[in-house]
Structure 1
Amino acid sequence: MTPADDDKRRSVASTNTDKPTIAHPPRSFAKDVLLICTVTLAMILNTANNTAVAIALPTIGKDLNIVEYKLQWIISAYSLSSGCLLLFLGRIADLYSRKWTFIFGCAFMGIFGLGCGFANDEITLDVLRGIQGIGAAACIPAGLGILAHNFPPSPIRSIAFATFAAGAPVGGAIGLAIGGVLTQLTAQTWRSTFWFLTGLSAVCCVGAVISIDEDDSSHRLIDRRVDWLGAFLVTAGLTLIIFVLSDGSIAPNGWRTGYIIGLLIAGVALLVLFVFWEHYLEQLHAREGAALDKWWTPPPLMSVTIWTRAQGRLAVVLGIAFLEWCSFNSWTFWVQLYYQDYVALNPVLTMVRLLPMSVTGVLCNVLVALVVGHLPVVFLIVIGTLFTGLANLLFAVINPAAPYWAFGFPAAILSVFGADFVFATGTLFVAKVCLPHEQSVGGALFQTLTQVGTAFGIAISTIVFNATLSKTSLQYGVHVDKSGTNAPRPAQLVAYKDAMWTGCAFGFAGALLAFVFLRSVGIVGHRKERDARSDLTAADETEMAATTRA
């Protein structure tokens, strides 16, 4: 064994308890089903809390007198807190209790969602939405850890993760449908949407109390101090970066605005410091005889070596998740603007054109559950990312005069393959290669990369859109104002197409990354009960043994 391997062995040995493994009491099939449904409902809630509110934004704006360009913060406040606190709250779940972190998160979403329904001004609603997002950051990584902990490698694990992934398209459909109906047909309009989602949060809490067992104490860490400095660095860094990516295009001087440049530099610097700090703590805990009783020497919030799991292929999967969400959410963002601002469709007709996404999303996850134990993961990820890229490509070459069935319908079908295939197989892979005490952190890393990917993809495609719009409009003798509403229609079409080309590039880059680096991963699902490492290569087994041997 090399000195590096020995250091790695001591690092893990210093964080794992030496208690004997305590087996869970036998669980009934009904309890397993209820657990899967409960955790999936949390994913449905997380997605519906965005889509249901998004469709109600015009009504909220009229009711609370919020100007249009400020309405985005009702969505952004939730996404900002839910995306930036994933890693910290995932670590809390691993350290203390995934069950109670999950319940706390669901209750938080419900309580502050209820408050949103009673808000009477813009600032109150924005603040409550930001606090509500903390609940999503707590329950989603905890839910992934719960599934990995309760279901050993087996067919039911594949079904559980695929069902959890299906919660996203189902939540999108429920949010659009229920949000639209309640906003339009109830006396309380948009407030009814928040109250309905609060009821679902309560159901989720009750289901969690009944169906989720406490964590196996043999996988708890001896040293459960929280790395507060690391938590501050990563949360502040992600907050600044996601804020800049969300706000850069609408700032007073765009990306050249002083505070946008300053905050971007500060955010990147904080993340770099976070990585160095986590590496220092990891090396300190790996060193024999090191003094670890100081208040500033807790175990790292995120082990930097987690990125090297499965010979670095976990980092590749996380990178693919980032690129896929750049592509998928870029397409979703621009296709809605294309339908409403260029084709001049109302929100309901736009929703109808996007409904095939939800149906296909559910079918994709059913397909994953059936084949993930039989096909190497590289096939699913390459096919999925290519299909998302093709959805962007269809709109990059779209003919506006063509019927919906020629471009819009096939693009809506193809767009979700990448997100659903990558999410289901990616989270299965994370659960497979991460150690027992870092399951929620692994899930949080995956979710964080999707959140950052969403912001990054929309930001880059917006830069491309604005640059093309200005350049092409000048060819028609028009200087585009900040809103872009005076741009000639031909220039608008070219700008939409170039934004879609950007999303296409992200999708194809993800497919290329998977084809080059994941060909030897093999199957991540399971056809029968067997050891979690049975589908890894011999080299992977050697590495996993080195990192788990006490």
Structure 2
Amino acid sequence: MLPDTPVEFSASTASSPAETLTDGRATQKYSPARRYVLLIVFCLSQALDAYNAAALFPAIPSLVKDLNFTEAESTWIISGFQLTFASFLLISGRISDVYNPKFAFIGGVFALGILCLGAGFVTDKIVFIVLRALIGIAGAMTIPSALALLVDVFPEPTEQARAIAVFVGCGGVANSLGLIIGAIFVQFASWSWVFWSIAIVSMPVAAICVFLIPKQEPRLNEAALGGRPRWKSLDILGVTILTIALVLFIFAVTSGGTSGWGSARVLAPLIISILMVAGFFYYETTIPEDCAAIPPRTWFLPNFLVLFFTALLPYFWWNVMFTISTTLWQNVWHWSALSVAIHLIPNGALAFAMSFTGSLSHIFNPKWNILFGEGLCIIATTLFAFADGPEKYWPFIFPALVLGSAGAMLTLTQTNIAMCRAGPATMAGTVGAIFNGSLQLGTALGISIVGSIEVSVEATHGGPTSYAGRAASFWFLLAFVGVEFLSMLVFYHISKEGTAITDIPGKPAAEVVTVIVEKGAKFTGAVEQPQFVVTPEGHVKINEVPVTVI
């Protein structure tokens, strides 16, 4: 059919499910080879960040011995990275939009390499934790910028969904394979090579990307910034408040098991952290919405809040399992680091296989996919709670690794897709940063809370060589997964999908756009308040009438 009648509408009242991530700019054209090389590069950055944490789990016993960490302090080996990573994801997404995603990506990857190179030579635990925190900031710079570049490289809806699923899945795969690689380094070299391997990969990648990624313009022009200097559009104060609050919270939780939950050492930072989190959310309401790290309206996007809490689960589950298993198997069962890695292969294999499940969202609604994944995690966690000896590997641990890893990865990919659909295109960077921040926050909180539970129970039930503390940790994890399952079942409403306020693809907000209506089409609703909808195939409809935006 030939187009016939041009009609003008205002884009500012549009409604769309945001099935495709666009930001109102004309996308660049790439050759197929360049597109897939860039996909590999972006996935590699995601994998490096996940590997950065996972590969250290087999190295924890060596690090504790070499750098003189106490049991409580050892939590910061992982949490020091995860906290800054999660917090600065919020501002790094804004940096990509306000300045340039290419420079943010390359700068983050290069800084990651330099800092990891230095971390491999450290002999002091304080310096080590500081470097881990800085590495978290560098890693945070790469994820939102990579995602912003990725959606430009793959603008077609179906390809874009697959590319995002692969991108996110690589993090889960690296989270699993990192254990194996880290164990090999610890067994045959030293923990330093975990960091040096990152430097060896990341610095050449940064150099290649200078030429591989084409020139990028800032996502926000001067008009969108409202005449403000670009740096004032970065919520530096808000992110600082949130970071300090999270650090204090983790400190309080990790101190509870050794200092007592009623001590001032625990209560003071715990109360201050809660007040600071409340202060952060209040502060976000007092500044212009386009400057906020987390715009207040984000929490009112359809299903967004329940998806945010769901995103806490995958890395929470994996890293709690990793922490308990690697220390138990090495320190109590006296397995070598390499043996630990070999026994964890089923986890990595299932994570890799399930990383390709993004297309399931076109067959079943993400809600049902997520619930199925969480159900698998419930079964797996129950099995782990009874795995109190080496003889329990095949009847309990092996099926738990298979089911749990499959469930966690399915939950990961489907939650990411659902969150992308929940938010409008103009908030794609913010939504992506919040999703990844939630993943990392789940790791930091999970390891800290479970570690405290384990220490508290072991103090009265047989000490660190007994399984009582670890079983209690798995029962807590089971309760957490159960709450997540019920929350998704009750609070995720399929009927609300696709009701986010957004823009017409290719057109900035509040701009009057001209559309061409196909010949013979008639509107059934009021054109003064048109309902713009973007179909999964990327077509635009107004009041159910297919149109072409010009």
- With the shorter chain as reference, the TM-score category is 0.7 to 0.9
One of 242, 261, 272 as aligned partner of 1:237: 242
8 Å contact from structure 1 (residues 158, 373) kept in 2: no
Kept in 2, the 8 Å contact 1:233–1:273? The answer is no
Alignment of 1:396-415 (within 5 A): 396-398=385-387, 400=389, 402-415=391-404
Q: 2:491 aligns with which of 513, 517, 529?
A: 517
Tell me, yes or no, if structure 1 residue 263 matches structure 2 residue 266. no
Shift of residue 317, structure 1, vs aligned partner: 0.8
Aligned: 1:158 with 2:166? no
Q: Cα gap change, 1:207/1:516 in structure 2, threshold over 3 Å: closer, same or farther? A: farther
Structure 1, 338-347 or 401-410: larger mean CA deviation: 338-347
Answering whether residue 41 of structure 2 is matched by residue 43 of structure 1, we say no
Stretches of structure 2 lacking an aligned partner (at least 5 in a row): 1-10, 16-22, 499-504, 507-531, 544-550
* Counterpart in the other structure of 1:476: none
Could you tell me which amino acid in structure 1 is paired with residue 269 of structure 2? Answer: L
Q: Using a 3 Å threshold, how does the CA distance of structure 1 residues 369 and 131 change in structure 2: closer, same or farther? A: same
Q: Does 1:305 align with 2:305?
A: no
Amino acid aligned to 1:244? F
Query: Structure 2 CA distance, aligned partners of 1:428 and 1:219?
Result: 24
Q: Deviations over 1:139-191 (max 9, x none)?
A: 122223333344335222122122112222432355334333344435xx333
In the TM superposition, what is the alpha-carbon distance from 1:113 to its structure 2 partner? 0.9
Q: 1:276 aligns with which of 278, 282, 304?
A: 282
One-letter amino acid of the structure 1 residue matched with residue 210 of structure 2: V
The amino acid across from 2:238 in the alignment is: L
Displacement of 1:409 in angstroms is: 0.5
- The farther-off stretch of 228-237 and 116-125 is 228-237
- What does the per-residue CA deviation read over 1:296-344, in whole Å, with 9 as the maximum and x for residues that have no partner? xx733321101222x3x12221121124544443333333344345544
Q: Distance in 2 between matches of 1:275 and 1:541?
A: 36
| Match in the other structure for 2:8 | none
- Check whether the contact 1:52–1:193 (CA below 8 A) recurs between aligned residues: yes
Q: 1:197 to 1:131 in 2, by over 3 A?
A: same
Of the three residues 301, 310, 315, the one matched with 1:320 is 310
Q: Which runs of 5+ in 1 are unaligned?
A: 1-7, 13-19, 286-297, 474-479, 543-550
CA contact (8 A) 1:353 1:408 kept: no
In structure 1, the residue corresponding to 2:311 is in which secondary structure?
helix
TM-score by length of 1: 0.78
Distance 1:262 1:228 in 2: 33
- Report the counterpart of residue 354 of structure 1 in structure 2: 344
Task: Report the structure, 1 or 2, having the larger helix content.
Answer: 1
CA contact (8 A) 1:321 1:450 kept: yes
Shift of 1:235: 3.0
In structure 1, what is the Cα distance between the partners aligned to 2:143 and 2:399?
Answer: 31
User: Aligned residue pairs: how many?
Assistant: 488
CA contact (8 A) 1:432 1:533 kept: no
Contact 2:144/2:433 (8 A) holds in 1: yes
Aligned alpha-carbon RMSD (Å): 3.6
How high is the sequence identity, in percent, across the aligned residues? 24
Displacement, 1:131? Answer: 1.4
Verify: 1:249 aligned to 2:242, yes or no: no
1:505 — aligned with what?
A: 479
- Return the alpha-carbon distance in structure 2 between the equivalents of residues 522 and 375 of structure 1: 16
* TM score, norm. by length of structure 2: 0.78
In the alignment, the residues of structure 2 paired with residue 116 and residue 317 of structure 1 have an alpha-carbon distance, to the nearest angstrom, of 35
Indicate the residue corresponding to 1:431 in structure 2: 420
Equivalence for 1:546 = none
The aligned counterpart of 1:15 is: none
Equivalent residues of 1:328, 1:419 under 8 A apart: yes
Greater relative CO, 1 or 2 (CA 8 Å, sep 6+): 2
Counterpart residue identity of residue 200, structure 1: V
* Distance in 1, Cα, partners of 2:114 & 2:390: 48
For 1:197-212, what aligned pairs fall within 5 Å after superposition?
197-212=198-213
> Displacement of 1:62 after TM fit?
4.9
CA separation in 2, counterparts of 1:46 and 1:541? 42
Counterparts in 2 of 1:184 and 1:495: CA distance versus 1, 3 Å: closer
Aligned twin of 1:27: 30
1:87 Cα deviation from its structure 2 partner: 0.8
Distance 1:94 1:260, change over 3 A: farther
Identify the structure with the greater strand proportion. 2
* 2:494 aligned counterpart, secondary structure: coil
CA contact (8 A) 1:374 1:523 kept: no
1:81-110 per-position Cα deviation (integer Å, ceiling 9, x unaligned) = 212211122221222222211111111110
- Which residue of structure 1 aligns with residue 535 of structure 2? 534
